[in-house]
Amino acid sequence: MSRKLELIVLAILLIFAAQFFYISSTTDAEYGGADDKPEGVIEEITGGTYKPIAEPIWEPPSTEIESLLFALQAAIGAGIIGYVFGYYRAKKKYENELAYKGKSKSEGDSQSL
């Protein structure tokens, strides 16, 4: 099986990792979440007059708990993907084997007749 696409994707990931190591070691960028930045922009545009109309019902009490829940989210997803692909791969393998056996058996039968 050709591994061309795997190599291309690996190259893209490596370039990405390299730029991260380079930029994070040469600058003092904070790597804060882009999703939190609009808050600052909104404050700048409205002059700090905007008050959020609602608050989150529940907030993770610490960044540790937050990463726990994010990791849980990723783990659930990755588990499902792994399970389905493993199921398909094994199914295909055994179906092929059965088809092959069935075929060779019937060939054997026709020779003995």
Partner 1 sequence: MHIMEGFLPTPWWQIWFAVSIPVILYGIHKLNRLVKEKREILPLLAVAGAFIFVLSSLKLPSVTGSCSHPTGTGIAAIMFGPAITAVLSTIVLMYQALFLAHGGLTTLGANVLSMGIVGPVVSYLIYKAGMKAKINFYFVVFLATAFGDWATYIVTSTQLALAFPAGGVLTFGAFLSSFGKFAAVFAFTQVPLAIMEGAVSALLFKYVVDLKSEILVEMKVLEDSVVRKLRGLSA
The residues binding partner 1 (CB under 8 A) are 1-2, 5-6, 8-9, 12-13, 16, 19-20, 23-24, 27, 29-39, 41-42, 44-46, 50, 52-60, 66, 69-71, 73-74, 76-81, 84-85, 87-89, 92
SS3 51: coil
Please give the Cα distance from 67 to 70 (Å, whole number).
5
User: Between residues 59 and 107, which has the closer beta carbon with respect to partner 1?
Assistant: 59
Least spacing, CB of residue 100 vs partner 1, in Å: 17
Judged by DSSP in three states, 52 sits in coil
Q: Which residue has the tokens 């088809």?
A: 99
